[in-house]
């Protein structure tokens, strides 16, 4: 005879990593457009969720297509922008 558990089994969560990155304003604005598209479809997506989804999509592409996508990006100067006074 099975005994019903009174507590839910705890699901082990993967540790998260905080990071910072630099991107052109036009790419950053595309995140807002994608967030709005999700909202229009009834899904509330966070920026981090959109970026994670993009990583999954890029990871599923063949190497040639992934490399072509990376090559199409304009180089960005890394680091923090200067503080405005």
Residue 51: name the closest of 21, 31, 25, 79 by CA: 31
- Please report the pLDDT score of residue 83 as a whole number: 81
Q: What is the DSSP string of 39-69?
A: HHTT----HHHHHHHHHHHHHHS-HHHHHHH
Mean pLDDT by 10 residues, the chain (85 residues): 60 89 92 97 96 96 96 87 75
> Structure pTM?
0.72
Distance set, CA 46 to CA 34, 43, 72, 76, 82 (Å): 10, 10, 25, 24, 27
Structure tokens at 6: 């009174």
pLDDT at res. 62: 97
């Amino acid at each position: 005879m099975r005994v019903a558990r009174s507590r839910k089994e705890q699901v082990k969560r993967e540790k998260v990593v905080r990071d910072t990155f630099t991107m052109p304003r036009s790419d950053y604005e595309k995140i807002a457009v994608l967030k709005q598209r999700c909202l229009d479809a009834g899904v509330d997506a966070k920026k981090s969720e959109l970026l994670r989804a993009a990583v999954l999509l890029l990871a599923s592409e063949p190497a040639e297509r992934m490399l072509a996508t990376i090559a199409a990006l304009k180089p960005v100067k890394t680091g923090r922008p200067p503080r405005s006074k």
